[in-house]
Chain A
Amino acid sequence: MTQYPTKVVRGVTLRADPAREPCFKVVHNAADLADYADMSAVARRQRLHKHMHNEMQSIEMSAQSLAEFTDAPWDVRMSMARQCWDEARHTRLLHRRLGEVGGYKGEFPVMNHEWSITCMVGSLWGRIALQNRTFEGGEIDLLRQLVKMWEEAGDPVTAELLEGILADELQHVRYANQWLQRMGRENPVVLLQVAAAINYAKKVLKAYEPAPGETNAVGVDLTGFEHVQVLANVADRRLAGFTDGEIAEIVRMEEELRASSTGLAVAANG
Protein backbone atom coordinates (compact mmCIF):
# COMPACT_ATOMS: atom_id res chain seq x y z
CA MET A 1 0.00 0.00 0.00
CA THR A 2 2.97 2.33 -0.05
CA GLN A 3 3.76 2.52 -3.73
CA TYR A 4 1.53 5.55 -4.12
CA PRO A 5 2.35 9.15 -3.28
CA THR A 6 0.94 9.71 0.19
CA LYS A 7 0.19 12.39 2.75
CA VAL A 8 -0.30 12.22 6.52
CA VAL A 9 -3.31 13.99 7.99
CA ARG A 10 -4.37 13.75 11.65
CA GLY A 11 -1.93 10.90 12.14
CA VAL A 12 -3.20 8.67 9.31
CA THR A 13 -1.51 7.97 5.98
CA LEU A 14 -3.65 8.71 2.95
CA ARG A 15 -3.25 8.79 -0.81
CA ALA A 16 -1.88 12.17 -1.92
CA ASP A 17 -4.36 14.48 -3.62
CA PRO A 18 -5.14 14.29 -7.34
CA ALA A 19 -4.22 17.25 -9.54
CA ARG A 20 -6.52 20.24 -9.35
CA GLU A 21 -6.94 23.37 -11.42
CA PRO A 22 -5.43 26.46 -9.78
CA CYS A 23 -8.93 27.87 -9.13
CA PHE A 24 -9.46 25.26 -6.39
CA LYS A 25 -8.20 25.74 -2.85
CA VAL A 26 -7.53 22.20 -1.56
CA VAL A 27 -7.72 21.66 2.21
CA HIS A 28 -7.12 18.53 4.28
CA ASN A 29 -9.34 19.05 7.30
CA ALA A 30 -13.09 19.52 7.62
CA ALA A 31 -12.29 22.44 9.92
CA ASP A 32 -10.86 24.32 6.91
CA LEU A 33 -13.97 23.82 4.77
CA ALA A 34 -16.58 26.56 4.43
CA ASP A 35 -19.60 24.26 4.73
CA TYR A 36 -22.78 25.95 5.83
CA ALA A 37 -25.53 24.44 7.94
CA ASP A 38 -28.56 26.16 6.49
CA MET A 39 -30.20 26.72 3.11
CA SER A 40 -29.29 30.37 2.59
CA ALA A 41 -28.20 31.48 -0.88
CA VAL A 42 -24.49 31.04 -0.10
CA ALA A 43 -25.17 27.67 1.56
CA ARG A 44 -27.00 26.43 -1.54
CA ARG A 45 -24.04 27.36 -3.72
CA GLN A 46 -21.64 25.68 -1.30
CA ARG A 47 -23.73 22.48 -1.22
CA LEU A 48 -23.80 22.30 -5.03
CA HIS A 49 -20.08 23.07 -5.19
CA LYS A 50 -19.24 20.33 -2.68
CA HIS A 51 -21.41 17.79 -4.47
CA MET A 52 -19.87 18.76 -7.83
CA HIS A 53 -16.41 18.22 -6.40
CA ASN A 54 -17.40 14.87 -4.88
CA GLU A 55 -18.62 13.71 -8.29
CA MET A 56 -15.26 14.80 -9.73
CA GLN A 57 -13.54 12.59 -7.18
CA SER A 58 -15.80 9.69 -8.13
CA ILE A 59 -14.68 9.92 -11.76
CA GLU A 60 -11.07 10.02 -10.63
CA MET A 61 -11.39 7.04 -8.29
CA SER A 62 -12.97 4.82 -10.95
CA ALA A 63 -10.53 6.00 -13.59
CA GLN A 64 -7.58 5.38 -11.27
CA SER A 65 -8.81 1.85 -10.58
CA LEU A 66 -9.12 1.22 -14.31
CA ALA A 67 -5.55 2.41 -14.77
CA GLU A 68 -4.08 0.48 -11.81
CA PHE A 69 -5.94 -2.84 -12.07
CA THR A 70 -5.61 -3.68 -15.72
CA ASP A 71 -6.02 -7.44 -15.16
CA ALA A 72 -9.51 -7.09 -13.60
CA PRO A 73 -12.35 -8.96 -15.33
CA TRP A 74 -13.47 -7.18 -18.50
CA ASP A 75 -17.07 -6.80 -17.33
CA VAL A 76 -16.09 -5.03 -14.14
CA ARG A 77 -13.78 -2.75 -16.13
CA MET A 78 -16.69 -1.90 -18.43
CA SER A 79 -18.85 -1.10 -15.40
CA MET A 80 -16.14 1.19 -14.03
CA ALA A 81 -15.78 2.91 -17.40
CA ARG A 82 -19.54 3.46 -17.57
CA GLN A 83 -19.39 4.82 -14.04
CA CYS A 84 -16.78 7.39 -15.15
CA TRP A 85 -19.23 8.48 -17.85
CA ASP A 86 -22.07 8.82 -15.30
CA GLU A 87 -19.94 10.72 -12.78
CA ALA A 88 -18.67 13.09 -15.48
CA ARG A 89 -22.28 13.81 -16.44
CA HIS A 90 -23.19 14.44 -12.79
CA THR A 91 -20.27 16.83 -12.43
CA ARG A 92 -21.34 18.79 -15.50
CA LEU A 93 -24.98 18.93 -14.37
CA LEU A 94 -24.01 20.18 -10.92
CA HIS A 95 -21.55 22.68 -12.39
CA ARG A 96 -24.30 24.02 -14.64
CA ARG A 97 -26.74 24.27 -11.74
CA LEU A 98 -24.08 25.97 -9.62
CA GLY A 99 -23.71 28.61 -12.34
CA GLU A 100 -27.48 29.05 -12.56
CA VAL A 101 -27.68 29.97 -8.87
CA GLY A 102 -24.79 32.41 -9.14
CA GLY A 103 -21.85 30.24 -8.06
CA TYR A 104 -18.64 29.28 -9.81
CA LYS A 105 -15.95 26.60 -9.81
CA GLY A 106 -13.45 27.27 -7.03
CA GLU A 107 -15.81 29.45 -4.99
CA PHE A 108 -15.34 27.25 -1.89
CA PRO A 109 -12.43 25.18 -0.49
CA VAL A 110 -12.50 21.49 -1.43
CA MET A 111 -11.22 18.32 0.26
CA ASN A 112 -10.33 15.09 -1.53
CA HIS A 113 -11.60 13.01 1.34
CA GLU A 114 -13.00 9.94 -0.43
CA TRP A 115 -10.21 9.82 -2.99
CA SER A 116 -7.55 9.91 -0.29
CA ILE A 117 -9.09 6.98 1.58
CA THR A 118 -10.22 4.83 -1.35
CA CYS A 119 -7.14 5.16 -3.52
CA MET A 120 -4.84 4.24 -0.64
CA VAL A 121 -6.26 0.70 -0.71
CA GLY A 122 -4.12 -1.74 -2.65
CA SER A 123 -6.79 -4.08 -4.04
CA LEU A 124 -9.49 -3.45 -6.61
CA TRP A 125 -12.13 -5.26 -4.53
CA GLY A 126 -11.23 -3.24 -1.46
CA ARG A 127 -11.61 -0.05 -3.47
CA ILE A 128 -14.95 -1.08 -4.92
CA ALA A 129 -16.11 -2.03 -1.41
CA LEU A 130 -15.25 1.49 -0.26
CA GLN A 131 -16.12 3.71 -3.21
CA ASN A 132 -19.25 1.98 -4.44
CA ARG A 133 -20.63 -0.15 -1.66
CA THR A 134 -19.76 2.08 1.30
CA PHE A 135 -19.53 5.72 0.18
CA GLU A 136 -22.09 5.50 -2.61
CA GLY A 137 -24.19 3.12 -0.53
CA GLY A 138 -24.32 5.84 2.11
CA GLU A 139 -25.05 8.37 -0.60
CA ILE A 140 -28.17 6.41 -1.48
CA ASP A 141 -29.39 7.06 2.05
CA LEU A 142 -28.38 10.70 1.93
CA LEU A 143 -29.65 11.60 -1.54
CA ARG A 144 -33.21 10.55 -0.80
CA GLN A 145 -33.11 12.95 2.13
CA LEU A 146 -31.48 15.74 0.12
CA VAL A 147 -34.12 15.52 -2.61
CA LYS A 148 -36.76 16.24 0.02
CA MET A 149 -34.64 18.99 1.55
CA TRP A 150 -34.24 20.89 -1.75
CA GLU A 151 -37.94 20.45 -2.53
CA GLU A 152 -38.86 21.90 0.85
CA ALA A 153 -36.43 24.76 0.25
CA GLY A 154 -38.40 25.66 -2.89
CA ASP A 155 -35.86 24.43 -5.45
CA PRO A 156 -37.51 21.62 -7.44
CA VAL A 157 -34.89 21.94 -10.20
CA THR A 158 -32.03 20.87 -7.93
CA ALA A 159 -34.27 18.26 -6.27
CA GLU A 160 -34.97 16.66 -9.67
CA LEU A 161 -31.31 16.76 -10.59
CA LEU A 162 -30.42 14.86 -7.40
CA GLU A 163 -33.18 12.33 -8.04
CA GLY A 164 -31.59 11.61 -11.43
CA ILE A 165 -28.15 11.21 -9.84
CA LEU A 166 -29.61 8.81 -7.28
CA ALA A 167 -30.92 6.55 -10.07
CA ASP A 168 -27.39 6.29 -11.53
CA GLU A 169 -25.78 5.68 -8.15
CA LEU A 170 -28.09 2.72 -7.55
CA GLN A 171 -26.52 1.01 -10.54
CA HIS A 172 -22.98 1.73 -9.31
CA VAL A 173 -23.75 0.20 -5.94
CA ARG A 174 -25.59 -2.72 -7.54
CA TYR A 175 -22.73 -3.79 -9.77
CA ALA A 176 -20.35 -3.54 -6.81
CA ASN A 177 -22.60 -5.71 -4.66
CA GLN A 178 -23.02 -8.28 -7.42
CA TRP A 179 -19.27 -8.51 -8.04
CA LEU A 180 -18.32 -8.63 -4.38
CA GLN A 181 -20.85 -11.38 -3.67
CA ARG A 182 -19.63 -13.38 -6.66
CA MET A 183 -15.92 -12.85 -6.05
CA GLY A 184 -16.34 -13.52 -2.33
CA ARG A 185 -17.82 -16.93 -3.15
CA GLU A 186 -15.09 -17.74 -5.66
CA ASN A 187 -12.09 -16.44 -3.74
CA PRO A 188 -12.09 -15.88 0.05
CA VAL A 189 -9.06 -13.58 -0.29
CA VAL A 190 -11.46 -11.01 -1.75
CA LEU A 191 -13.39 -11.03 1.53
CA LEU A 192 -10.18 -10.36 3.45
CA GLN A 193 -9.46 -7.46 1.12
CA VAL A 194 -12.94 -6.04 1.72
CA ALA A 195 -12.54 -6.42 5.49
CA ALA A 196 -9.10 -4.75 5.41
CA ALA A 197 -10.42 -1.83 3.35
CA ILE A 198 -13.39 -1.22 5.65
CA ASN A 199 -11.19 -1.41 8.73
CA TYR A 200 -8.79 1.09 7.19
CA ALA A 201 -11.65 3.49 6.38
CA LYS A 202 -12.99 3.19 9.92
CA LYS A 203 -9.56 4.04 11.31
CA VAL A 204 -9.28 7.12 9.06
CA LEU A 205 -12.79 8.32 9.80
CA LYS A 206 -12.14 7.94 13.51
CA ALA A 207 -9.01 10.09 13.18
CA TYR A 208 -11.04 12.74 11.32
CA GLU A 209 -13.78 12.85 13.94
CA PRO A 210 -13.93 16.47 15.13
CA ALA A 211 -13.19 17.35 18.73
CA PRO A 212 -16.05 18.75 20.83
CA GLY A 213 -16.67 22.37 19.90
CA GLU A 214 -14.46 22.26 16.78
CA THR A 215 -15.74 24.68 14.17
CA ASN A 216 -15.11 25.11 10.45
CA ALA A 217 -14.01 28.14 8.41
CA VAL A 218 -17.45 29.74 8.59
CA GLY A 219 -17.99 29.04 12.29
CA VAL A 220 -20.27 26.00 12.00
CA ASP A 221 -19.94 23.64 14.95
CA LEU A 222 -18.70 20.37 13.44
CA THR A 223 -20.07 18.37 16.34
CA GLY A 224 -23.45 20.09 16.36
CA PHE A 225 -25.04 17.77 13.84
CA GLU A 226 -26.86 14.62 14.82
CA HIS A 227 -25.43 12.33 12.14
CA VAL A 228 -27.88 9.54 12.80
CA GLN A 229 -30.52 11.73 11.16
CA VAL A 230 -29.33 10.22 7.86
CA LEU A 231 -31.04 6.85 7.97
CA ALA A 232 -30.95 3.86 5.68
CA ASN A 233 -33.03 4.26 2.55
CA VAL A 234 -34.25 0.69 2.68
CA ALA A 235 -36.21 0.63 -0.60
CA ASP A 236 -33.33 1.96 -2.68
CA ARG A 237 -30.72 -0.16 -0.86
CA ARG A 238 -32.78 -3.18 -1.88
CA LEU A 239 -32.75 -2.00 -5.51
CA ALA A 240 -28.98 -1.54 -5.21
CA GLY A 241 -28.48 -5.23 -4.46
CA PHE A 242 -28.03 -5.22 -0.69
CA THR A 243 -29.44 -8.44 0.76
CA ASP A 244 -32.19 -8.39 3.37
CA GLY A 245 -29.58 -9.52 5.91
CA GLU A 246 -27.27 -6.61 5.04
CA ILE A 247 -30.10 -4.08 5.24
CA ALA A 248 -31.23 -5.48 8.57
CA GLU A 249 -27.67 -5.14 9.86
CA ILE A 250 -27.39 -1.50 8.72
CA VAL A 251 -30.70 -0.70 10.40
CA ARG A 252 -29.51 -2.45 13.57
CA MET A 253 -26.23 -0.48 13.53
CA GLU A 254 -28.18 2.76 13.16
CA GLU A 255 -30.45 1.88 16.04
CA GLU A 256 -27.41 1.17 18.17
CA LEU A 257 -25.81 4.51 17.18
CA ARG A 258 -29.03 6.36 17.86
CA ALA A 259 -29.39 4.73 21.26
CA SER A 260 -25.82 5.60 22.23
CA SER A 261 -26.19 9.12 20.84
CA THR A 262 -29.46 9.65 22.76
CA GLY A 263 -27.77 8.31 25.86
CA LEU A 264 -24.88 10.75 25.42
CA ALA A 265 -27.24 13.65 24.86
CA VAL A 266 -29.23 12.80 27.97
CA ALA A 267 -26.00 12.53 29.96
CA ALA A 268 -24.70 15.85 28.58
CA ASN A 269 -27.95 17.63 29.40
CA GLY A 270 -28.00 16.27 32.91
Chain B
Amino acid sequence: MDGQNPKHPYESPLIKVLDEEELLKVFQMTAAEISVASCWWGACTAGCAA
Protein backbone atom coordinates (compact mmCIF):
# COMPACT_ATOMS: atom_id res chain seq x y z
CA MET B 1 0.00 0.00 0.00
CA ASP B 2 3.06 2.23 0.31
CA GLY B 3 2.84 5.19 -2.02
CA GLN B 4 -0.74 4.45 -3.08
CA ASN B 5 -3.80 6.48 -2.36
CA PRO B 6 -5.65 4.49 0.32
CA LYS B 7 -8.93 5.51 -1.28
CA HIS B 8 -7.85 3.90 -4.57
CA PRO B 9 -5.74 0.86 -3.61
CA TYR B 10 -5.71 -0.53 -7.12
CA GLU B 11 -5.70 0.81 -10.62
CA SER B 12 -9.10 0.91 -12.27
CA PRO B 13 -9.31 -1.58 -15.15
CA LEU B 14 -9.39 -0.13 -18.63
CA ILE B 15 -12.33 -1.24 -20.69
CA LYS B 16 -11.89 -1.18 -24.45
CA VAL B 17 -14.89 -1.73 -26.67
CA LEU B 18 -14.08 -2.96 -30.18
CA ASP B 19 -16.36 -1.81 -32.96
CA GLU B 20 -16.97 -4.01 -35.98
CA GLU B 21 -14.08 -2.57 -37.96
CA GLU B 22 -11.60 -3.10 -35.15
CA LEU B 23 -12.79 -6.64 -34.59
CA LEU B 24 -12.63 -7.55 -38.28
CA LYS B 25 -9.15 -6.05 -38.34
CA VAL B 26 -7.99 -8.31 -35.53
CA PHE B 27 -9.48 -11.52 -36.93
CA GLN B 28 -7.43 -11.74 -40.09
CA MET B 29 -4.81 -14.18 -41.30
CA THR B 30 -1.82 -13.58 -43.53
CA ALA B 31 -1.09 -15.68 -46.62
CA ALA B 32 2.00 -16.92 -44.79
CA GLU B 33 -0.08 -18.21 -41.88
CA ILE B 34 -2.43 -20.02 -44.26
CA SER B 35 0.35 -21.41 -46.41
CA VAL B 36 2.37 -22.86 -43.58
CA ALA B 37 -0.05 -25.77 -43.23
CA SER B 38 0.47 -27.21 -46.67
CA CYS B 39 2.70 -24.97 -48.75
CA TRP B 40 -0.45 -23.35 -50.01
CA TRP B 41 -1.30 -23.35 -53.66
CA GLY B 42 2.17 -24.45 -54.64
CA ALA B 43 3.62 -21.14 -53.62
CA CYS B 44 7.05 -22.61 -53.09
CA THR B 45 9.50 -21.14 -55.53
CA ALA B 46 13.04 -20.56 -54.45
CA GLY B 47 12.87 -21.53 -50.81
CA CYS B 48 11.46 -25.02 -51.25
CA ALA B 49 13.96 -26.11 -53.85
CA ALA B 50 15.00 -29.50 -52.60
Contacts and interface: CB of A to CB of B under 8 A. Distances in A.
Interface of A: 30, 33, 35-39, 43, 46-47, 50-51, 54, 111, 113, 129, 133-135, 137-139, 141-142, 145-146, 149, 180-181, 184-185, 188, 191, 194-195, 198-199, 201-202, 204-205, 208-209, 215, 219-222, 224-232, 243, 245-246, 249-250, 253-254, 257
A50 B35 contact: no
B32 A230 contact: yes
Instruction: Give the interface size bracket for B toward A.
Output: 20 to 34
A133 B31 CA distance: 11
B26 interface: yes
B35 A227 contact: yes
A207 to B, nearest CB: 8
Contact of A227 (B25, B27, B32): B32
> What are the 5 tightest A-B residue pairs by CB atom distance, in nearest-first order?
A37-B48, A184-B20, A30-B38, A208-B37, A138-B31
Interface string B29-47: 1111111111111111111
A209 B42 CA distance: 15
B30 A113 contact: no
B43 A142 contact: yes
Nearest to B36: A227
A26 B14 CA distance: 51
Contacts of B27: 129, 194-195, 198-199
B23 interface: yes
B39 to A, nearest CB: 6
Question: At the interface, is chain A mostly helix, strand, loop or mixed?
Answer: helix
Nearest to A51: B41
A138 to B, nearest CB: 4
B30 to A, nearest CB: 5
Given A30-B39, A209-B36, A232-B30, A37 B25 contact: no
A54 B42 CA distance: 11
A170 to B, nearest CB: 15
B50 A220 contact: yes
B49 interface: yes
A205 B23 contact: no
Contact of A142 (B29, B37, B40, B46): B40
Interface string B7-37: 0000000000000111111111111111111
A134 B42 contact: no
